[in-house]
A and B are shown apart, each in its own frame.
Chain A
Amino acid sequence: MGARFRGDAPPIYLAATACGVFVTGIGVLVLIGWAFELPALKSLASTLPSMKANMAIALIAIGSSILLLRTGASLLRRSFGRSLGALAAAFGGIVVTQSLFGGIGVDQALFDDPGSASPGRPTVHAALVVACLGAGLVAIDIEKHGTRLSGFLFIAAGTLALAAIVGYAYDVGYLRGQAGTSGMALHTALALSVATVGACVLRPERGLVGFLRGDDPGAAMARVLAPAAVIIPIVLGAARLVAERHLGLDSEVGVSLVVLCTIGLLLGVIAFAAVRVRRAVAERDSAQALTTKVVEGLSVGVAACDREGRLTFMNRELKRIHGIDDEVDTYDRWPDLLNISKPGGISPLPSAERPLLRALGGERVRRDDLNISPEGLVPRSVQVSAEPLEDQDGEVVGAVATITDETGRREAEQIRKQLAAIVEWSNDAIVSQSLDGMILSWNTGAEDLYGYSMEEAIGSHESIIVPADRRDEQRDVMKRVAGAERVDRQETVRLRKDGALVDVSLTVSPMFDADSRIIGASVIAHDISARRQAERMFGQLIEMAPDAVVGIDQAGSIEVVNSKAEEMFGYHREELLWKDMEALVPGALGSGAPERAMLSDAGLDFQGMARPDFERSARRCDGSEFPCEISLATVETDGGLLTMAVVRDVSERKLIEEEADRLKSEFFGLVSHELRTPLTSIVGYADILSEEEGSRFSPEGRHYLEVIKRNTHRLDRLVQDLLLVGQVDAGTFQIQLGVVDVSATAGECAEEFRPVAEQAGVSLTTDLGAVREFMGDQGRLAQVIENLVSNAVKFTPAGGEVVLRVAESNESCVIEVSDSGEGIGDGELGHLFDRFYRGARANTEHIKGVGLGLAITKAIVEAHHGEIEIQSEVGTGSTFRVVLPMRPVESSKLESVRSAS
């Protein structure tokens, strides 16, 4: 902390100037006295020694030097002043040299000085004072040592000058330099004293005067004690001399009185000084308290350390930045607590780089790239400035640092930059304008959209981009914005610089100043011309669609219709719009809210994907209903999710389907009648023939009759199979339930096939367990078993075996037919149940059959709610396993079946 000064500078500078003028004036007057032989000027009184002419010149030099060296003088003047000082010092040096080593004959170079003890030569005493003053003035502005030296020289000069004055006062010749010379002239002594004062106050902020002018307690004390120390002894000494000389007092009495007075006066002065010191201390303390308070209250962190680098002060803000409890005395634990880290990082800053410690090395540090990372808190970005604290002599006694928490400001700055970048590089045109339409800002997006450059646009009126027919609309928008309203997604048209119109969607928001007054509007314009075009295309496509297309919003009301929809429902377009979809197709979007929600969810997840068609009944304008098929798809639009329903009138198709069904039935009726009637005759007459006439036939004739009967039987089976397949297709296939003895049925089948098997050289064995109370269709089950056994026998080579098993297991009836045939390859397994599918071997080896057996078997098994599975290994054989539930229908239904039959 530098020395502080009391009072204003000018008076003390004026004092220096006054001294300079006085000294110069004395010198000039004395010189005039010498020039015109005026003794009054040369020596004031005839009894007193005269001032020598060269001394007068020296005084002029010193006085002028003081004037020229005054604070604030130009460099040239100060150089001249120093030169004059040097001249005076040289003069003093020459005189002293002469008195030691003999004259060099220049004493009376200017004026004769007859009758003097030392003609033309001043006393050594005075010369020493002049030399000291001159040298002091030369050194006065030299940093540090020069200042100190000049301080000493001035004190020496002052002491010598004062000695001369005391010599006059007490009439002690020696003190006046009356050794071999006439002594120092009185006005020389006075002038030199004044010159010393002038030289001392020349740089009032430094040296002795600086110290005296300080507001520290020491200065306060010195200010009181120093004058007392000079004045009290002089006055008391003078008083003692007067008393002894003129009142005849004894010297012992004089000394005693002087001692007593000195003690009394000194005590008084000390008491006075103590009061002054105490006041100064109090003043300083209050100043310090104020400073501390101010520093504590600063929103800038402040830290100070002493010369050893120990932290001596931290204000509250700095503790906050470091996350340290305000009440905790932390100075001992520093630097553990202060986590200063490197730029952008977490690694701690080496202590040698710490600004405060670097400042101790005498440099001023300013860094704005440091972080403070308090334990458990968010790192703060800080700006740190540190500088050394120097004492009056420029010695570093500590350092002080200010730390500014920049986190908030930097974040805000970053956000502001980001926002600016967003605005600048947004694809949308972002324009701000005053409420009366003056354009204030214009981003690149606006340049692209409207074609005006930023320079052209800013300062122009919005009317450059608002087409004439949209002015009223724009006025309304701005009126709403002025009322603090935000206008969202206003779709309108804007005018480009090239005269073209562009479709835009506008969002206009009010802009506020710091006092929340609306000062303008930000207008964000999004180019929707591409979308408009797509919409027009979309609209045309919808219009062209051969089906009715209806767009439904999330509330279920109709937003889009095409002309086919008008035609289909019999309404005009205007009547359809905003109508509830429920009125057209009840339940089109599902019957309840959950389904609607599901639809919208589906829309979000599978945007644009059509949902499967489903059939509903639709209602026309006149109330009549017709069957329709609806496909739903969802489309994301600016206005929210739109469900597009494609409605197809299927009444015609229904009619065709019904007709097709009727034709199919008719066909089956025809097949039944027209094929089976002749078959009945053939079978019937062949039977009669063999019964009545068989005995009269030759063996060949009987064989031929057998061939007819066998083939008739085959044909009958085929017709029955085809009819069954037709029934399965038509969904009219039904089984006749009754209690079936599955084992017995299987046994009969086995017996039926035994001749065939024997003929093929295949052994057919059975393993028939009892199955109690099985409900099923006996004829159909027999068919299943026949099919399976027939296949097994057919596909088993001679020497192989076929096993038919029936068992009851787990409430199921299991029918299993195994063979030791070739097995079925993986490629064929999947096709086995296809109609008219015949295995590869069936074709190559001329095995009979049309390939309906397994398809029919499967249909029958499924009609019994059973399952059929195949295990097959090529080369080893196959096992067909049919598992049928014991009760294919619920018992209540069974009862009705029983009673009906």
Chain B
Amino acid sequence: MADPEKRDRPLVLVVDDEPDIRDLVTIRLQQDGYDVIAAEDGATAIEMVRLEHPDAAVIDVRMPGLDGYEVTRQIRADPALVDTPILLLSASVREEEVRRGYDAGADSYIRKPFVPAELREAVRALLERAASKGGGDRSEP
């Protein structure tokens, strides 16, 4: 499943150290018709992106070890992975954290707690945007 073009359903990577949240997001995304793979920490997540090339990644900001910002930064730093659309998930309401996320290279951002529609809408928008660019060069938001 390394080639995204061959998939009939988009593959979304969910990264969160909290199993409850990780499962919740996974369930919601599966309900929305995506294939979901999950990682419980940043390092695993980067590894899985490298292996699976998911169509989008939903990453929790606050995690032990590599946090969401750092994962985003490393993905963006790797030329092979740079195009991966990234949605950051955060419990913080502070504007500066939102800005930090965009600065690290995230494409979108939703806050916890979220309602199912929010998540659905955000992932859909992310994938549409990526598709419209045809997987080509991306510009910074």
The 5 closest A-B pairs by CB, nearest first: A680-B113, A684-B24, A676-B91, A681-B20, A680-B112
Residue A892 at the chain B interface, CB threshold 8 Å: no
Which B residues lie within 8 Å of A724 (CB)?
93
Residue B27 at the chain A interface, CB threshold 8 Å: yes
Excluding A680-B114, A683-B115, 7 further A-B contacts by CB distance (< 8 Å) are A672-B93, A676-B91, A677-B21, A678-B20, A684-B21, A684-B24, A687-B115
A732: min CB distance to chain B, Å: 7
Q: Are A680's CB and B24's CB within 8 A?
A: yes
Q: Are A673's CB and B92's CB within 8 A?
A: yes
Bound complex: CA A673 to CA B18 (Å): 11
| 18 contacts across the A-B interface (CB closer than 8 A) | A665-B94, A672-B94, A673-B62, A676-B113, A677-B91, A680-B21, A680-B91, A680-B114, A681-B20, A684-B28, A687-B115, A688-B27, A688-B28, A716-B113, A720-B93, A723-B93, A724-B93, A732-B96
Residue B3 at the chain A interface, CB threshold 8 Å: no
Which B residues lie within 8 Å of A672 (CB)?
91-94
Bound complex: CA A526 to CA B75 (Å): 88
Q: Are B18's CB and A669's CB within 8 A?
A: no
Name A's B-contacting residues (CB within 8 A). Answer: 665, 668-669, 672-673, 675-681, 683-685, 687-688, 716, 720, 723-724, 727, 732, 734
Nearest residue (CB) in A for B112 is A680
Which B residues lie within 8 Å of A716 (CB)?
113
Q: Is the interface of B mostly helix, strand, loop or mixed?
A: loop
Residue B8 at the chain A interface, CB threshold 8 Å: no
Q: CB within 8 Å of A: which of B1-36? A: 18, 20-21, 24, 27-28
Asked if A687 meets B21 with Cβ closer than 8 Å, knowing A672-B91, A672-B93, A723-B93, the reply is no
Nearest residue (CB) in A for B97 is A669
**Residue of B91, B96, B113 touching A683 (CB-CB under 8 A):** B113
**Residue of B92, B95, B112, B115 touching A669 (CB-CB under 8 A):** B92
Bound complex: CA A716 to CA B93 (Å): 13
Q: Are B95's CB and A734's CB within 8 A?
A: yes
Which B residues lie within 8 Å of A685 (CB)?
20, 24
Q: Are B24's CB and A676's CB within 8 A?
A: no
A295: min CB distance to chain B, Å: 109
Asked if A677 meets B94 with Cβ closer than 8 Å, knowing A685-B24, A688-B24, A688-B27, the reply is no
Interface string of B106-132 (1 = CB under 8 A from A): 000000111110000000000000000
Bound complex: CA A720 to CA B95 (Å): 14
Asked if A681 meets B94 with Cβ closer than 8 Å, knowing A676-B112, A676-B113, the reply is no
Which A residues lie within 8 Å of B113 (CB)?
676, 679-680, 683-684, 716
Bound complex: CA A40 to CA B24 (Å): 194
Q: CB within 8 Å of A: which of B81-101? A: 91-96
Bound complex: CA A732 to CA B24 (Å): 31
Nearest residue (CB) in A for B114 is A680
Bound complex: CA A667 to CA B18 (Å): 20
Q: CB within 8 Å of A: which of B33-51? A: none
B133: min CB distance to chain A, Å: 20
Nearest residue (CB) in B for A668 is B94
Bound complex: CA A673 to CA B93 (Å): 10
B32: min CB distance to chain A, Å: 13
Bound complex: CA A676 to CA B18 (Å): 12
Which A residues lie within 8 Å of B27 (CB)?
688
Nearest residue (CB) in A for B89 is A680
Bound complex: CA A494 to CA B21 (Å): 92
Which A residues lie within 8 Å of B18 (CB)?
677, 681
Bound complex: CA A734 to CA B93 (Å): 11
Bound complex: CA A675 to CA B113 (Å): 10
Q: Are A669's CB and B116's CB within 8 A?
A: no
Which B residues lie within 8 Å of A675 (CB)?
91
B3: min CB distance to chain A, Å: 32
Which A residues lie within 8 Å of B116 (CB)?
684, 687
A372: min CB distance to chain B, Å: 94
Which B residues lie within 8 Å of A683 (CB)?
113, 115
Which A residues lie within 8 Å of B91 (CB)?
672-673, 675-677, 680
Bound complex: CA A681 to CA B113 (Å): 8
Q: Are A732's CB and B95's CB within 8 A?
A: yes
A215: min CB distance to chain B, Å: 128
* Most chain A CB within a 10 A radius of its CB, from B62, B92, B95, B113: B113
* Most chain A CB within a 10 A radius of its CB, from B20, B62, B94, B115: B94
Which A residues lie within 8 Å of B95 (CB)?
732, 734
Q: Are B24's CB and A677's CB within 8 A?
A: no
Bound complex: CA A704 to CA B9 (Å): 37
Bound complex: CA A553 to CA B28 (Å): 76
Bound complex: CA A673 to CA B92 (Å): 6
A692: min CB distance to chain B, Å: 9
Bound complex: CA A684 to CA B91 (Å): 14
Nearest residue (CB) in B for A716 is B113
Nearest residue (CB) in A for B93 is A723
Bound complex: CA A104 to CA B50 (Å): 197
Which B residues lie within 8 Å of A680 (CB)?
21, 24, 91, 112-114
Bound complex: CA A365 to CA B86 (Å): 127
Q: Are B24's CB and A681's CB within 8 A?
A: yes
